[in-house]
């Protein structure tokens, strides 16, 4: 055990990106799932060593654990101090010999951090440099040569930080003036010399839940990322069945997302298409689906609520230069991608964006070799939303009864685990949880019941049907055949 990345509280994807910068995109840097809450970092130098990569290697090879937690600008430390007061903090717990590094991955929420150069001028303190400074403290704790006095420890840390700054060609920091605060630098700008992993053949075993969305949005703290992280945590931990759906999907996503991020770094048009026709629609679809599920029934008030969500997406897309034809192309591509995944067919030759976006994603999903049902279902929902948005873009397309029925049919086809994982012993508890927390509407419960029965092992289907009646998913005399599935 050496370097661990927190995946429960922190922005694990950004932390890994920063470590990658420290080793200058050495493809020997990787992670694996150490626990449900952490990734462990592994590192075998595959590129010529530089001072910063050698330092990280020494920390990785040490026996004392170092936990990295990348947090947002609103995070408050256990002592009540906001993270923005320090930008980064290292804590050493003697009883457990655990070193924990907390650092702000958001540049003070976009306000930047500054420190003083030898002349006392404000210069930029990039998050990667801040992390390296804290890793210097961790290194000296491990080496047992950290000074007892805080001032002397900071002088030691700044000396190591300046070695990293010199390696990168950044302005040096004042060796004994430890001032640091949010603010814009007056000298030297705010650039950071990234190592461009696209040029290195980088392919670590990195699993991250928001890598593509973060790359599209350019920020780990964008409201879309917050919404997606919330949804992941909510549905992943809801019940056994949702976990059986979510875990393989997230593992598969972890396999293909690195390649997509790399492609997005190479191609600004792909990044733009991903943002406007995949990431942002996903967030709005989530908002619409949850509002629909929370309503007791279809109503004018529900339609108006969903209409506002759709209008927000269309208005934002209009400001970004989108169009109705582009939305329809994306919708057609999403529907095609769903069919490709269901059929297990290879993606067709690349076409023009945004129409080619979802077939491209389907190809990436298919190469992962895992279950694709959840992705096909999600693409169907996005196709529904994108078509409605195209109609709205043309001046019509208000949410109406037809859209609500289509949305209900889609929600009712919520993915279920493979047949081999569906047991009657699990069903009472799982259906009770889903009925209380997801399928609260009687009409949606009925749709889901029919969908579930159509995929249930035949030997216990009659018992499941009775259970669905007992739990009020179905009426006693309701026809449970899978019409329209």
**Element housing 45 (H / E):** none
If asked whether residues 146 and 287 sit together in one domain, one would say no
Place of tokens 């879309």: 224
**Cα separation, 84 vs 72, whole angstroms:** 9
What's residue 254's pLDDT? 66
Torsion, CA 74, CA 76, CA 77, CA 83, rounded to 10: 40
- The two tokens of residue 109 are 């929420």
Domain boundary among 163, 182, 201: 182
**Cα separation, 431 vs 425, whole angstroms:** 11
pLDDT by residue for the chain (485 residues), tens only, comes to 589 998 877 788 889 989 999 999 998 998 887 877 788 999 999 999 999 999 999 999 999 999 999 988 888 888 889 999 999 999 987 655 789 999 999 888 888 999 999 999 999 999 999 999 999 999 999 999 999 999 999 999 999 999 999 999 999 999 999 999 999 999 988 888 988 654 333 333 333 345 566 566 555 556 666 667 667 667 766 778 887 787 677 667 766 776 787 788 778 888 889 999 998 999 899 989 999 999 988 988 888 889 888 988 998 899 888 999 999 999 999 999 999 998 887 666 667 899 999 999 998 888 877 778 889 999 999 999 999 999 998 877 788 889 999 999 999 999 998 888 899 999 999 999 899 888 999 999 999 999 999 999 999 999 999 999 999 999 886 554 444 34
| DSSP-derived pairing of the beta strands 180-182 and 29-35 | unpaired
What's residue 366's pLDDT? 84
If asked whether residues 396 and 445 sit together in one domain, one would say no
If asked whether residues 404 and 426 sit together in one domain, one would say no
Residue 192 lies inside a defined structural domain of this protein: no
What would the DSSP string read from start to end of 9-32?
A: SS-HHHHHHHHHHHTTS-TTEEEE
**Cα separation, 365 vs 358, whole angstroms:** 10
Residue 386 lies inside a defined structural domain of this protein: yes
If asked whether residues 95 and 114 sit together in one domain, one would say yes
If asked whether residues 118 and 71 sit together in one domain, one would say yes
Residue 203 lies inside a defined structural domain of this protein: no
- Inter-residue contact 163 to 169 (CB < 8 Å): no
| DSSP-derived pairing of the beta strands 113-116 and 180-182 | antiparallel
Provide the residue range defining the domain that includes 310: 209-415
Residue 121 lies inside a defined structural domain of this protein: yes
Strand stretches in 14-151, DSSP E: 29-35, 38-43, 66-71, 88-93, 98-104, 113-116, 122-124
- Inter-residue contact 407 to 298 (CB < 8 Å): no
Residue 55 lies inside a defined structural domain of this protein: yes
If asked whether residues 307 and 409 sit together in one domain, one would say yes
If asked whether residues 380 and 458 sit together in one domain, one would say no
If asked whether residues 470 and 383 sit together in one domain, one would say no
**Cα separation, 38 vs 51, whole angstroms:** 27
Residue 188 lies inside a defined structural domain of this protein: no
**Cα separation, 298 vs 416, whole angstroms:** 25
Between helix 127-143 and helix 12-22 the angle, nearest 10°, is 80
Residue 198 lies inside a defined structural domain of this protein: no
If asked whether residues 99 and 231 sit together in one domain, one would say no
33 strand-pairing partners: 39
Look at the chain and report how many structural domains it folds into. Answer: 3
- Inter-residue contact 438 to 401 (CB < 8 Å): no
What's residue 365's pLDDT? 87
Domain boundary among 182, 200, 229: 182
**Cα separation, 331 vs 310, whole angstroms:** 15
If asked whether residues 10 and 27 sit together in one domain, one would say yes
Q: Where are the alpha helices (DSSP H) in 117-222?
A: 127-143, 150-168, 211-217
DSSP label at residue 84: G
If asked whether residues 167 and 296 sit together in one domain, one would say no
Residue 160 lies inside a defined structural domain of this protein: yes
Domain boundary among 384, 415, 446: 415
* Per-residue buried b or exposed e for 267-301, using 16+ beta carbons within 10 Å of the residue's own CB: eeebbbbbbbbbbbbbbbbbbbbeebbebeebeee
**Cα separation, 289 vs 307, whole angstroms:** 12
What's residue 45's pLDDT? 92
If asked whether residues 169 and 284 sit together in one domain, one would say no
């Amino acid at each position: 055990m050496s370097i661990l990345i927190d995946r429960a509280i922190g922005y694990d994807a950004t932390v890994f990106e920063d470590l990658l910068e420290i080793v200058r995109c050495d493809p020997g840097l990787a992670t694996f799932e150490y626990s449900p809450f952490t990734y462990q970092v592994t590192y075998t130098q595959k590129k010529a060593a530089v001072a910063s990569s050698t330092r990280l290697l020494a920390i990785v090879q040490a026996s004392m654990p170092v936990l990295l937690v990348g947090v947002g600008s609103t995070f408050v430390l256990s002592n009540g101090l906001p993270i923005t007061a320090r930008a980064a903090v290292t804590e050493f717990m003697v009883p457990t010999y655990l070193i924990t590094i907390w650092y702000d991955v958001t540049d003070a929420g976009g306000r930047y951090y500054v420190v003083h150069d030898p002349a006392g001028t404000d210069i930029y303190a990039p998050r990667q440099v801040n992390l390296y400074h804290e890793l210097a403290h961790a290194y000296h704790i491990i080496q047992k040569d950290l000074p007892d006095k805080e001032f002397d420890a900071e002088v030691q840390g700044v000396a190591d930080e300046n070695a990293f700054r010199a390696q990168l060609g950044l302005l040096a920091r004042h060796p004994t003036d430890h001032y640091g605060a949010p603010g814009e630098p007056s000298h030297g700008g705010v650039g950071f010399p990234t190592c461009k992993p696209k040029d290195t053949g980088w392919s670590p075993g990195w699993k991250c839940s928001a890598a593509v969305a973060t790359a599209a949005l350019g920020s780990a703290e964008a409201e879309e990322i917050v919404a997606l992280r919330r949804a992941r945590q909510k549905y992943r931990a809801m019940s056994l069945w949702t976990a059986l759906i979510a875990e393989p999907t997230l593992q598969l996503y972890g396999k293909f997302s690195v390649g997509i991020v790399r492609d997005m770094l190479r191609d600004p048009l792909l990044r733009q298409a991903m943002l406007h026709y995949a990431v942002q629609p996903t967030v709005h679809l989530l908002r619409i689906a949850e509002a629909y599920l929370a309503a007791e029934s279809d109503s004018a008030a529900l339609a108006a609520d969903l209409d506002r969500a759709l209008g927000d997406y269309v208005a934002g897309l209009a400001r970004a230069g989108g169009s109705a034809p582009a939305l329809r192309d994306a919708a057609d591509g999403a529907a095609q991608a769903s069919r490709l995944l269901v059929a297990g067919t290879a993606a067709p030759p690349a076409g023009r964006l945004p129409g080619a976006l979802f077939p491209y994603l389907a190809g990436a999903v298919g190469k992962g070799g895992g279950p694709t049902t959840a992705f096909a279902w999600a693409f169907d929902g996005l196709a529904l939303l994108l078509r409605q948005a195209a109609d709205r873009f043309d001046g019509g397309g208000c949410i109406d009864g037809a859209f609500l029925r289509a949305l209900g049919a889609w929600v009712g086809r919520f993915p279920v685990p493979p047949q081999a994982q569906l047991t009657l012993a699990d069903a009472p508890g799982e259906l009770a949880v889903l009925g209380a927390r997801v399928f609260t509407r009687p009409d949606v419960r009925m749709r889901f019941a029919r969908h579930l029965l159509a995929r249930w092992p035949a030997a216990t289907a009659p018992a499941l049907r009775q259970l669905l009646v007992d739990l009020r998913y179905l009426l006693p005399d309701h026809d449970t055949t899978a019409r329209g599935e």
